[in-house]
Structure 1
Amino acid sequence: MTNDTARTFVDGTTIRPIRPDESDAESAVIVGAFAAGPYGHLPKSAERAAFEADTAGRGADGAVLVAVGADGAVVGTASVLRAGSRYSRVARPGEAEVRLISVDPSAQGAGLGAALTRASLEAALDWGASALVLDTGSRNTRAQALYERLGFVRDPGRDAVVGAGVESVVYRFPLQPRDDVVVRLMRADEADAVAALVEHAYAADFELNAGYRADIVAVAERAREHRVWVAVDAMTGELLGTASTPRAGETMSPVARDGELDFRFLGVAPGARRRGIGEALVQHVLLLARIRGLERVVLNTGPDMLAAQRLYGRLGFSRLHEREFTFVRPDGSSFQMLAYGRDARLAA
């Protein structure tokens, strides 16, 4: 989750990166949630108290997210940390770790814990982390049920005793389906290269008119409004492919309806074809939909995009005939814009 990204929860609560003037309120939420939890009766070490109070330090290690109510009050928080940083405890190289998922006792029971966990997953996905990991006390069965419901799996090899009377259990959520490819958010300095890649990918399949070509190559502008993802070689960093999705709660095209995620501008570099890069990017979109709690992934594609249509069919997408329409070119010619969709809740 980048600094300009926020998501609005059902009751008007917004989850977003913390602002400097919210540090004290954020720490207070952590203290209150801990006191109300299954370990609130235990004495707190000075090291733990300092960790909870060091909002700036946690932010320097990654990102601090807050849930802010309609009245502007901080009612929840989560710290997403990079592996190897000062406050990371169980993450291995390439992973991200979330700690201090906390909801003010007065706001508990409304699903904010799940929303903060989903936002933490998306922040780790932005970075291209291989997984998001976390640990929680063995007595915190309510939290464990939440993590399992969201798709985290136990990693008992990392369990440990982390304090007097506190046994830690570890959960992991995989974020990258392949070891040789990393999918992450595009960096600003990659916009020109991504524009060239997607232009070449589309021009290889059909002739582009000036208006559509301009839309395809407007990558920097698109990244300001939406989310531009890139697939890169895990060893060399070579740019292999790209796809774009909307921010949480938004859409990129009329094909999407409530509870759905649409995506556009799927392209693979000519030299990376036949490596499964297109499939990896579509799997990434499906994963993003599940992280956001959405039911379906949808898209439009042109009749000339035969390779893309074969890919969608192979991955379980089916035609949405009722959402298809006739697209008229500036020269008066036209074609049928196809629509596809599939259930995001099925394994990619």
Structure 2
Amino acid sequence: MHAPDGFIDAPVSAAAGLLAAGAIAVSLRGARRELDDTSRPGAAAGAGAERTAPLAGLVAAFIFAVQMLNFPVAAGTSGHLLGGALAAILVGPYTGVLCVSVVLLMQAVLFADGGLTALGVNITTMAITTTLVAYALFRVLVKVLPRTRRSVTAASFVAALVSVPASAVVFTLLFAVGGTTDVSLGKVAGAMVGVHVLIGLGEAVITALTVGAVVAVRPDLVHGARGLRQKLKLRVDGELVDAPDTGAEPAPATARSPRKVWIAGLVTSLVLAGFVSFYASADPDGLEKVAADHGIDKQAEEHTTADSPLADYGVKDVDDARLSGGLAGVIGVGVTVVAGTGVFWAVRRRRTEEEAEATSPTGTSV
């Protein structure tokens, strides 16, 4: 789904860049509240950055890793995770936009994946659209479904599924306004939506499995599962059953460190990017396939950093394909988790400074 330079003309690319910049600015401010861990039940004041900034950085790194795992969806076509739904549900919609944007920036600059002039287009389609559509639908579903772990997982599945064709629709609209080739928009729209519905199924499975796994062990770390109550289990005649609901709230998860979750997530990301990615499908993804079939790629331009040491997810001068791709994946995960965590530390620190100014006798409220 990464659009290269040349698919969309300069004026529309610039407009998409301005839209993306505005959305990121809004997200930076919104993420300050989402990263404020004091909003979680039982959290101590000032605990936010220690818990949420590294976790948000990990989410970005995990999305980077899973995006390397193209899966087949049709004859000669593959797909990969976009990640907007997953990020929004795990860390919140504003932080989610920033997570996917960090991934797209790392991919464009270091790996020559997605054009630099098309970065605004890619952020608009892959970060903003998927995150907002998925989270809006997710919130509606969790309000009407029973407040259980299964409901959160099911809502995650549906939200992720819908977010991918929604992204394809937005790309088609941008192409309709600023496409550089004269092709039938009806055919492009049908092909884009059709193949991305199939890709959405894969996205939905990955998102639901990931959210379900985290909710099962640490629901307090999942933004979309805040307020989810854990049923007390009792052993009756050798079997575990739910204890009767007494109406009492469970004790807050005050000082539970997310370190184990962070380590497990980082190790998983490194294994996926450094080893499993070698077995990913080599077929073109949905956008690449549609572009080739309908002539959209006639005006595609070579990436500005096509000669970079990590271009095309391989390490330059390393001849072994498995080793080259694995090293590139590990480097990508490492750079993304550091860059993402740094961004979220800075965002959270700014929030702390605003709070200090607001409560200072000589400060002013922001």
Please classify the TM superposition score into its range, dividing by the shorter chain length.
under 0.3
TM-score w.r.t. the length of structure 2 is 0.21
Q: Which structure is higher in strand share?
A: 1
What TM-score comes out, normalization by structure 1 length? 0.22
Higher relative contact order (CA 8 A, sep 6+): 2
